[in-house]
Amino acid sequence: MTDRWARAEERYRQREADRRYRRDDRAWGGQNSRDTRGKADNRVVGREQDDWDDYEDDTTVIPRYTDDMDPPEPAPRPSAERRAGQRTRAGRREAARRDDEPAQGRRPRSAQRGKRSRAASRKAQERKRRRRTLWLFAGVFVLLFAGAAVFAGMKLIAKLGPPEDYAGPPGPLVVVQVHDGDTSTQIAASMKEKDVVKSTGAFIEAAVRNSNMNAVQPGYYAIPSRSPAAQAVSALVGKKARVGNLVIPEGRLLHDQFEVGSGRRTDGIYRMMADASCIGTGPNQKCVTYEQLAAAGASVDLAALGVPAWAAQGVQDCPDRTRQLEGLIAAGTWDFDPSGTPEQMLRQLVTASAKSYESTGLLQSGGETKLTPYQTLIAASLVEREAKPQDMSKVARVIVNRLRVPQMLQFDSTVNYALDRTEVQTTDADRAAETPWNTYAKIGLPATPIAAPSLNALRAMENPEPGSWLYFVTVDKQGTTLFTDDYKQHQRYIQQAQASGILDSGR
């Protein structure tokens, strides 16, 4: 086998040598040359064919064989000249193929040049459009930048210069609200919104220079509109600017009351509101009247008056519309906007009072007393009118015990409520008169509260002091009140009160 491979390799080397160094016999001339060339060619061709045939016959089916003693040498790669010739021939074939393409459907070169010309024109137009778009965007950007620069410059100039301010003279009064916890900046914003000052900056600068600004309280203030900032601050801290501020004493009624004998008037809540609603002085003063408030309080539109849901049914069932809001405006210090309508003023106070009542736990009370929130408010008004603060929880227990028996409450305060003239000691005729409030003539609670109860009275009614008391009476002018569950003992306490003169009538 080794000899066969050696012979095949020898023939390959000989053929390569003949191909590289083959002599051209034509260069020698003559017939001999042609004969010799022909013979040589035939010999070479024939030998090539014979050699390759012999080589292929010997090797095509020979499996891979390795002789450890004499390994075969690898066949040499084609020379660089041969590879160059192969590439040259391939190039000529490709050129011939391109020359034949027009017959096979390829466009002529003139058509290709026209197509490239049109494509170049389109690209040029596209570049021109892009340049125009870029210039347009650049112009818009320049305009925006210039506008922003001008705006920033104006703002800077405004900041560097003094804030805008009114020069005067001031205009009509307007009402401005100062909320609890407001800062000077927030007050300045309210002033500007109401057109009291030209700018918040001017007000703040004036406020910083006025030390009395620290004493401004929450509430409503009547300040002249279009005022110079310094004047607006001075008006705000002045004593006459506060409006709509109301202090309601404990046990006060909606309407005025007059004492028997002296005829002294005790202002009701409606009159107190009318006095607190005045804005301005002299002929330009504007106030809501007592009669306007009383008429507004009798409205059947309970929602417009701010009546809470837990009191709506009791107010709707009130036999006297002029008294339907009794007890729903609580004792205490209140602020309302006097520039509003009478209905709006009442709504503010009723809404604020309802929140105050509910803060005591009114809506959750009644588990032990078995009273609704509105009934608890009615009973609290009785406690307010009948007891001193130290005795309120005991009086509340008397009310609960009598309602459970049931037994008439027989409170003189309920008799006086429906009278034009009042006194501590009522007459037999007064006590016999049947009214929706007279607890000498009916069992149970009055139809509505009979006064504005304090929060202390309300808490006492929500949590009465434990006890079995059914009676109580004040026995002296110092307010000493004695309690008992024995009627005979109660009669002796009444005699003691008469002896002290506390039960004397002015009639």
Per-residue pLDDT, 31: 45
Per-residue pLDDT, 95: 53
Q: pLDDT digit string (tens) for 382-424?
A: 999 999 999 999 999 999 999 999 999 999 999 999 887 777 6
Per-residue pLDDT, 77: 55
Q: Which residues pair with 221 in a beta bridge?
A: 176, 242
Neighbours of 37 (CB within 10 A): 16
In angstroms, the Cα distances linking 292 to 155, 267, 418 are: 51, 16, 22
> Which residue from 466, 472, 473 is spatially nearest to 499, judged by alpha carbons?
473
Structure tokens at 372: 């609704």
Instruction: Kindly indicate the confidence band of residue 52, based on its pLDDT and cuts at 50, 70 and 90.
Output: very low
Neighbours of 33 (CB within 10 A): 15
Per-residue pLDDT, 162: 81
Taking 80 as the threshold, does the pLDDT of residue 27 lie above it?
A: no
Q: Give the residue with greater pLDDT, 136 vs 116.
A: 136
Structure tokens at 428: 């037999």
**In the chain, what percentage of residues exceed pLDDT 70?**
76
Taking 60 as the threshold, does the pLDDT of residue 340 lie above it?
A: yes
Structure tokens at 56: 């292929």
Mode of pairing for the β-strands spanning 219-224 and 242-243: antiparallel
270 within 8 A of 290, measured Cβ to Cβ? yes
394 within 8 A of 472, measured Cβ to Cβ? yes
Q: Give the residue with greater pLDDT, 92 vs 197.
A: 197
Residue type at 371? L
- Angle, to 10 degrees, between the axis of helix 342-358 and the axis of helix 290-297? 60
Per-residue pLDDT, 472: 94
Per-residue pLDDT, 506: 54
- Angle, to 10 degrees, between the axis of helix 373-386 and the axis of helix 455-462? 120
Lowest-confidence segment of 33-42, 88-97, 412-421 by average pLDDT: 33-42
503 within 8 A of 424, measured Cβ to Cβ? yes
Over residues 111-122, mean pLDDT: 72
Q: pLDDT digit string (tens) for 346-377?
A: 999 999 999 999 999 999 999 999 999 999 99
Per-residue pLDDT, 127: 84
Structure tokens at 74: 């690898």
Which residues make Cβ contacts (< 8 Å) with residue 395, sequence separation at least 6?
A: 382, 383, 386, 387, 460, 472, 481
CA 240, chain centre distance (Å) = 37
Per-residue pLDDT, 284: 87
End-to-end CA distance of the chain: 161
Strands, E, within 179-226: which ranges? 219-224
Please return the burial class of 408, using the count of CB atoms within 10 Å of its CB with bins 0-12, 13-18 and 19+: middle
Taking 80 as the threshold, does the pLDDT of residue 161 lie above it?
A: no
Mean pLDDT over the full length of the chain: 83
Strands, E, within 65-194: which ranges? 173-178
Instruction: Kindly indicate the confidence band of residue 189, based on its pLDDT and cuts at 50, 70 and 90.
Output: very high
Per-residue pLDDT, 59: 44
Structure tokens at 356: 């105050």
Q: pLDDT digit string (tens) for 300-309?
A: 999 999 999 9
Structure tokens at 116: 């490239």
Q: pLDDT digit string (tens) for 211-256?
A: 999 889 999 999 999 999 999 999 999 988 999 999 999 999 999 9
Per-residue pLDDT, 337: 97
Taking 50 as the threshold, does the pLDDT of residue 46 lie above it?
A: no
Distance between CA atoms of residues 126 and 114, nearest Å: 19
Distance between CA atoms of residues 229 and 206, nearest Å: 6
323 within 8 A of 257, measured Cβ to Cβ? no
Per-residue pLDDT, 29: 45
Element spanning 246, H or E: strand 245-248
Q: What is the 3-state secondary structure (H, E, C) of 247-312?
A: EECCCCCCCCEEECCCCCEECCHHHHHHHHCCECCHHHCECCCHHHHHHHHCCCCCCCCCCCHHHH
Q: Which residues pair with 471 in a beta bridge?
A: 484
